[in-house]
Amino acid sequence: MRTKASLLFVLAGSWGGVVALRSGKYCFEGCSYTLNCVDFNDTNPALSRKIRTCQSVFRATSLYLCLENYCTNEGRTEWLRGNNETCQKKTKQALPPYDIIADYAGDMDAVRRLKAEEGMCDGAPITLGEATIPDEPYFERAFRTLDAAFFEEDIHWLYAMAMYYFWAIVIAVGICTRLISLIRGLQHQEWLPVPDNESNHETANRTKNSIRSLPYSLLKRHIIIPATFGYRCSQNIHWCTIPPRIQSLTIASFVLLNIVLCSISYPVFSGNIFWPEISAQLWRYVSDRTGIISLANLPLIWLFGTRNNTLIWLTGWGFGTYNNFHRWVARVATVQAVVHSIGYTEMVWESGGWRLYTKYWYKRYFWNGELATIFMCAICAFSVYGLRRSHYEVFLVAHILFSIIVLITMYYHVEIFNGEWNIFIWPSLLIWVFDRTLRVLRILAFNPRFWNTKCSATYDPSSNLVRLEVPCSQSFLRPKPGSYYYIYALNNVLFAHQNHPFTLAYVTSSKNEEDMEDIHTRTSSSSHRSSRPSSHRTSSTTSTESEALLSSSSSSRSPSPSLVFLIRPYDGFTSRLAQNSASTSTLKSIRVFIEGPYGETVPLHTFPSVLFLVGGTGIAVPLSYMHKLLTSDQSRVARLRIVWAVREHAFFVDVLQRFRDLLKDERVEVDVHVTRDVEGKDDAIVEEIEDVEVVAGRPNVDAAVDEAAQEAGRGRMAVVACGPGQMADDARRAVVKAVGDGYRGVEYFEESFKW
């Protein structure tokens, strides 16, 4: 110990001022690296390189001198011990002790200096019969090269993790806002409704409240509710759908984060020993960075794509929101995979042209990687809105098939790293398996004898509507307001493995009159939710739902309760369903799996005032909520208004009759706008049936929202849009305006199901 200490003192004294000492592991590694391609003649050349490296006293001396010369001694003992152990394990040779350099202490300048040209591996190997010290420029290059390379390795990992931090923050904000709005819902009850002749105390209270609610209402007006740009949100723009502003901002932040993290922290320099050219260093670092971040994004894609993830439940954001996240994370990951592939292709090309490139295609990790990128692109191509809409099943089958291929090829692509990067593959698979398992459990919960679920399909050509009736007496889970189900039809080969989400229309019950109440409690109805950008697109075009509804009420006296789905045939599954049921006259029994119910119930019961803006079969939504809103003890609803645009006069008459009891409630007000079957001028009151105003022509959404907001005053009000895209967009705009006009309690909900 004494010798070591005095030695250090001597060495530090002789060179300390000359060279700025480097610290850390990469200084030691840099010293070691400079000697990698130098041969020393004090070992037997017949022995393996490994043994000679551990055995050579010249080499050890050179290494130790380098350490003394250029590095601080912090961590050196540990580093040497590690190397020593490796040597002893692999070659049964111990490294010579450190104090062999004591002899050189006084005579450092006489030691031979090693130049980069001599030491680097790409030149002719030299053999030395003495110890040497890399000269400073050579050492610096080696140190910086290793330092940069290992820095990159760490930073790739850190930036990959940033994806998870980002989404953790987003989800945390979601959970917080949900909690806050729940708390607000509790608070506001106390000062509502506000009487006309309020006291000073109440006015003060109100001002306080209004000051507190200002930031939130500004947020609502400018960030949370509006469409991203101007007006369109539920309606598609050409082949694109654009999410609401709050989602677009989240997604934009995510994309920006990815761009930034793929563009920064590249310590390139000329003289890098691994890649002398700056461009080569950039290719390499950027390719690795994009590859790793792309890989890190994979589990997020699967997480956001599952049918019912816990996040939906925690944040209250619907499937549509997560579906948008799913798509954008997938797009970002795909672009990153493309950059990664192009980068590696370029690097291979650069170093060996076409010949080397074809050689690489025989390497398993290489061709699997290229395939993974190609199939990721294919998934994106097959998911464009237009194809999703027109050929939903092509989209679905391609999506699942290609996803499996991507997972498998990714697995073989990262296999070469001894499982280090598998940590992103397995979670993806796990999430997928878990989701599928839950789905199977849901099918079992609907009917334990799942193979024996039969539904009857009736097609009415005049209404162009298929009515599916599924007995649900076995169902373990009861439908809630806003529930929807996935249906897998099995009878026909064509039908196999296809499933679509459908909103429950209503539940029929047995003949007994006492069950009538049960019908009402569980009634809901609606349109085909799947394969459309917005389910309620369909509602406006559905012509005679009325007939289907009417016939159901007379023919549905089946002995056990059934779920009824009203389906408009458009394409693939639904049109085959129509043909199938049409060709065999009226009733056709189809074997199905039913998976459900799904869907979050919106907490409308916390609002004193609720306004539904409904198009066509979207009437399902208010009907499904109404019973709870009007009868539950927890409900605060004092005013429930429904503005309903419907084409068929008979449709609404039927609904009116089926739900007479509920509609008669004094809190309920229904405005029906019949758009086709009624002759007459716009806005003329055509008739009044059981207190329901029937008007010809389209409803004025802006006016309806404005009027309801005025009536609600400072109170909280929920506006729920359940209609075609245009109606939803009108409603969204009207709510933004109302909030801007000072009606801060107005909240907007959209009951649509985007794919």
Ligand X SMILES: *[C@@H]1O[C@H](CO)[C@@H](O)[C@H](O)[C@H]1NC(C)=O
Residues in touch with ligand X (CB under 6 A): 41, 80, 84, 94-95, 97-98, 129, 308, 310, 313, 598-600
The Cα 546–Cα 570 span in angstroms is 19
Closest contact distance (angstroms) between CB of 547 and ligand X is 31
Nearer to ligand X, 236 or 324 (CB): 324
Closest contact distance (angstroms) between CB of 130 and ligand X is 6
How far from chain centre, in Å, is Cα 600?
18
- State the sign of the Cα–Cα–Cα–Cα dihedral 50, 52, 54, 58: negative
What letter represents residue 57's amino acid?
Answer: V
Tokens of 537: 């697109």
Nearer to ligand X, 41 or 210 (CB): 41
Nearer to ligand X, 395 or 598 (CB): 598
Closest contact distance (angstroms) between CB of 497 and ligand X is 22
Nearer to ligand X, 70 or 98 (CB): 98
Alpha helix (H) residue ranges in 19-129? 25-34, 49-55, 57-70, 76-91, 116-119
Any residues with CB less than 8 A from the CB of 111 and at least 6 apart, and which?
65, 104, 130, 131, 132, 133
Closest contact distance (angstroms) between CB of 237 and ligand X is 30
Q: Is the separation of the CB atoms in 521 and 627 below 8 Å?
A: yes
Closest contact distance (angstroms) between CB of 448 and ligand X is 18
Closest contact distance (angstroms) between CB of 47 and ligand X is 13
Closest contact distance (angstroms) between CB of 98 and ligand X is 5
**Residue of minimal Cβ distance to ligand X:** 129
Nearer to ligand X, 28 or 598 (CB): 598
Closest contact distance (angstroms) between CB of 70 and ligand X is 17
The Cα 625–Cα 733 span in angstroms is 24
Closest contact distance (angstroms) between CB of 41 and ligand X is 4
3-class SS at 697? coil
Nearer to ligand X, 83 or 539 (CB): 83
Closest contact distance (angstroms) between CB of 502 and ligand X is 15
Q: Is the separation of the CB atoms in 588 and 581 below 8 Å?
A: yes
- Strand partners for 254: none
The Cα 755–Cα 732 span in angstroms is 19
Nearer to ligand X, 483 or 538 (CB): 483
Any residues with CB less than 8 A from the CB of 544 and at least 6 apart, and which?
460, 462, 463, 464, 465, 648, 650, 651
3-class SS at 461? coil
Alpha helix (H) residue ranges in 97-135? 116-119
The Cα 558–Cα 552 span in angstroms is 10
Closest CA to 466 of 554, 536, 564: 564
Nearer to ligand X, 231 or 434 (CB): 434
Nearer to ligand X, 16 or 97 (CB): 97
Closest contact distance (angstroms) between CB of 312 and ligand X is 6
Q: What separation in angstroms does the CA of 382 have from each of 238, 404, 428, 488, 501?
A: 16, 15, 21, 22, 20
The Cα 329–Cα 294 span in angstroms is 9
What letter represents residue 213's amino acid?
Answer: S
Nearer to ligand X, 84 or 555 (CB): 84
The Cα 199–Cα 210 span in angstroms is 16
Nearer to ligand X, 6 or 492 (CB): 6
Q: Is the separation of the CB atoms in 523 and 623 below 8 Å?
A: yes
**Pairing label, strands 685-689, 668-674:** unpaired
Closest CA to 482 of 296, 292, 612: 612
Nearer to ligand X, 101 or 717 (CB): 101
Cis peptide before 597 (omega within 30 of 0): yes
Tokens 């002398």 appear where? 276
Nearer to ligand X, 600 or 706 (CB): 600
Phi/psi at 619 (nearest 5 deg)? -55, -20
Closest CA to 234 of 121, 359, 320, 353: 320
Which H or E element spans position 247? helix 245-261
Nearer to ligand X, 95 or 721 (CB): 95
Closest contact distance (angstroms) between CB of 39 and ligand X is 10
Closest contact distance (angstroms) between CB of 129 and ligand X is 2
What letter represents residue 232's amino acid?
Answer: R
Closest contact distance (angstroms) between CB of 723 and ligand X is 22
